[in-house]
């Protein structure tokens, strides 16, 4: 069925409410908008849904959310797990509150108990809650760092991690098996409460999460000594982070915490930024203005659901604020955790760290020096969480930390997703620790470069929206996959990994080696001089992403090399 036929079907269907039909009539004659709204079903992909809010099969609305929830309910019932319950949270985005209530009532209509937060909460707290309440699953309504017109629906399983193989595929089958929206079960809130199916949670979970965070802290005595000397500027970017971020900092003793007032309160329109993403330097404009006014040591931002974290650090020599990318943040936390645990005699022999394939190779050197095992997984925190579960079940290693270059860290054993609140706490603690030694976090980063090597990475994202954009992304991937270059810029390609086909090609000999690589639409190039490149479509946004990594002789040299390699990658896909 074509997109125009689907559009007309919705207009004529008894299953679609009149308000939705009225919104559809508003786009009548707008062929491009109709096409993008109906050319496909909104895919239940990377742990759930993500899309533009609006009417249509390719949009986030009560019908697509309802279909996803009914599919999840059917899977839970097939596994006789309905009595364990589902935890539900939501962020500050438009329609998040409504979608979260809808998901609960659909689950309740299927006899499944729910625990919904009374008000918005960070994604990492949802992961914590699933484990704390021993739920079978969790749902968080969020589109993370996407532009305002987006929302999303992320599903977690009983280990507190985003669903991964084979659960993700089995739930997807259940979702896709729903043909008619009339199959989505319904119940009134009053009836669900009366039956004990709909339950609200809040402060009691906050208290437990905060106490858990305190157990991760390694130098509380240093915080008490330096708390008045450290100045922290914080922004939740109109999202969920403020309540818990300011609380944990206050309870640890930090007294000079300045919140960006223009961005302090939740707002799904994100009026002060075009893109509420701490990866984007522009999102720090107001925070840096405040930092200069109060002479802050560090400037921290969370994205709307507070799983990601961004960081600027003042350079005491120049007075300028230096942006830390996701790798620098992850490396700073890893170096602090590992070294402090080693000094305190807390670093166990079976300690492991997990990173993704596009994260910094400096991680390898830190682990080598400290005798920490290193595991590498595909991008996405669900893959990090799956590896944690695997090594825990084998009782082989204890994970000290997981991180990825996209501004996410996981620390401790009670959260199975990136945790921007825990990362914020540790970065503030590390800043206090190094300040006592007369150093800034940037000074320590320079020492890490001197110790481990001048590693530098960069990511380039190209946004290609709509049906035409999706086709363009597909075309780029096929072009590179079918004609892998033997050289990128001035550097020879040593090996080419195609994770979708499960092969590694030795570019010198041309031999193909079938490997047991995890399946994903990812292409990876091993280059000379310990350089590397990678290209993949985003699993959550209409983007194709390019990653580059180099090692230089100096910091300036490394910066120049990674910029040159980025330009070379652009040429590859023209």
Q: Which domains does the chain possess?
A: 40-201 (3.40.120.10), 208-452 (3.40.120.10), 455-572 (3.30.310.50)
pLDDT single digits (tens) 517-538:
778 899 999 999 889 999 999 8
CB 419 within 8 A of CB 401: no
Average pLDDT, the chain: 94
- Of 376, 369, 362, which is closest to residue 326 (Cα–Cα)? 362
Under the phi-then-psi rule, with left for phi > 0, alpha for psi from -120 to 50, and beta for the rest, what region is 48?
Answer: left
Is residue 144 part of the annotated active site? The answer reads yes
pTM: 0.94
- What sign does the dihedral 269-41-114-84 (CA atoms) show? negative
CB 17 within 8 A of CB 24: no
Q: What is the pLDDT, as a whole number, of residue 516?
A: 76
Give me the percent of the chain exceeding a pLDDT of 90: 87
Band of residue 573 on the pLDDT scale cut at 50, 70, 90: confident
Residue 199: count of CB within 10 angstroms of its CB: 17
List the catalytic residue out of 37, 127, 144, 406. Answer: 144
Band of residue 81 on the pLDDT scale cut at 50, 70, 90: very high
Residue 179 has pLDDT above 80, yes or no: yes
Average pLDDT over residues 174-202: 96
CB 524 within 8 A of CB 379: no
d(CA 149, CA 143) in angstroms, rounded, equals 9
- Of 263, 228, 267, 277, which is closest to residue 249 (Cα–Cα)? 228
Burial of residue 234, with CB atoms counted within 10 A of its CB: 0-12 exposed, 13-18 middle, 19 or more buried: buried
Residue 196 has pLDDT above 90, yes or no: yes
Q: What is the pLDDT, as a whole number, of residue 223?
A: 95
Average pLDDT over residues 512-517: 80
d(CA 64, CA 41) in angstroms, rounded, equals 8
Residue 48 has pLDDT above 70, yes or no: yes
pLDDT single digits (tens) 369-424:
999 999 999 988 999 999 999 999 998 899 999 999 989 999 988 999 999 999 99
Average pLDDT over residues 285-308: 98
Q: In the 8-state DSSP scheme, what is residue 320?
A: P
Average pLDDT over residues 286-295: 98
List of E strands, 385-514: 398-404, 408-411, 454-463, 487-488, 491-498, 503-506, 512-514
Average pLDDT over residues 47-63: 93
Residue 176 has pLDDT above 90, yes or no: yes
Q: What is the pLDDT, as a whole number, of residue 513?
A: 83
Average pLDDT over residues 542-566: 94
Q: What is the pLDDT, as a whole number, of residue 46?
A: 63
Residue 406: count of CB within 10 angstroms of its CB: 25
Express the helix, strand and coil content of the chain in percent, nearest 5 each.
40, 20, 35
- Of 423, 415, 418, which is closest to residue 337 (Cα–Cα)? 423
């Amino acid at each position: 069925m074509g997109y125009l036929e689907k559009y007309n079907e919705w207009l004529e269907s008894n299953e679609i409410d009149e308000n939705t039909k009225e919104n559809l009539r508003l786009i009548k004659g707008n062929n491009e908008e109709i096409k993008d709204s109906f050319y496909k079903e909104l895919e239940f992909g990377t742990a759930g849904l993500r899309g533009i809010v609006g009417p249509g099969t390719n949009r986030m609305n009560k019908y697509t959310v309802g279909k996803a929830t009914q599919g999840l309910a059917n899977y839970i019932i097939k596994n006789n797990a309905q009595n364990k319950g589902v935890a539900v949270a939501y962020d500050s985005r438009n329609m998040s509150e409504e979608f979260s209530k809808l998901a609960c009532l659909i689950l309740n209509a299927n006899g499944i108990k729910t625990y919904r937060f009374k008000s918005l909460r960070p994604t990492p707290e949802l992961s914590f809650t699933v484990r704390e309440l021993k739920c079978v699953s969790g749902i968080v309504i969020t589109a993370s760092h996407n532009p305002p017109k987006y929302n999303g629906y992320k599903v977690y399983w009983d280990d507190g991690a985003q669903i991964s193989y084979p659960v993700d595929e089995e739930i997807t089958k259940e979702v896709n098996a729903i043909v008619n929206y009339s199959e989505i079960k319904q119940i009134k809130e009053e009836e669900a409460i009366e039956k004990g199916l709909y339950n609200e949670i809040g402060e009691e979970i906050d208290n437990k999460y905060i106490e858990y965070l305190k157990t991760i802290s390694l130098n509380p005595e240093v915080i008490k000594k330096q708390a008045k000397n450290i100045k922290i500027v914080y922004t939740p970017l109109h999202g969920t982070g403020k309540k818990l971020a300011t609380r944990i900092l206050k309870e640890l003793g930090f007294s000079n915490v300045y919140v960006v007032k223009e961005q302090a309160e939740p707002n799904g329109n994100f009026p002060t930024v075009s893109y509420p993403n701490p990866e984007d330097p522009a999102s720090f404009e107001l925070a840096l203005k405040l930092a200069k006014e109060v002479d802050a040591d560090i400037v921290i931002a969370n994205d709307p659901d507070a799983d990601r974290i961004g960081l600027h650090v003042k350079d005491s020599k120049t007075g300028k604020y230096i942006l830390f990318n996701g790798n620098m943040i992850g490396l700073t936390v890893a170096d602090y955790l590992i070294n402090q645990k080693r000094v305190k005699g807390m670093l166990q022999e079976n300690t492991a760290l997990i990173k993704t394939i596009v994260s910094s190779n400096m991680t390898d050197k830190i682990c080598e020096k400290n005798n920490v095992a290193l595991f590498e997984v595909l991008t996405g925190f669900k893959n990090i969480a799956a590896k944690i579960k695997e090594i825990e079940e084998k009782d082989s290693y204890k994970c000290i930390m997981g991180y990825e270059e996209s501004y996410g860290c996981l620390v401790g054993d009670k959260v199975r997703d990136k945790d921007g609140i825990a990362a914020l706490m540790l970065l503030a603690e590390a800043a206090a620790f190094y300040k006592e030694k007369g150093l800034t976090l940037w000074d320590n980063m320079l020492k890490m470069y001197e110790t481990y090597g001048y590693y530098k990475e960069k990511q380039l994202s190209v946004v290609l929206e709509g049906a035409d954009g999706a086709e363009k992304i597909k075309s780029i991937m096929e072009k590179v996959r079918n004609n892998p270059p033997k050289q990128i810029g001035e550097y020879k390609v040593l090996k080419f990994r195609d994770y979708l086909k499960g092969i590694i090609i030795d570019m010198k000999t041309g031999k193909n080696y079938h490997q047991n690589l995890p399946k994903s639409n990812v292409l990876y190039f091993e280059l000379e001089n310990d350089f590397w490149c990678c290209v993949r479509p985003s699993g959550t946004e209409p983007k194709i992403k390019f990653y580059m990594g180099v090692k230089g002789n100096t910091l300036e040299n490394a910066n120049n090399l990674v910029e040159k390699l980025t330009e070379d990658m652009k040429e590859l896909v023209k």
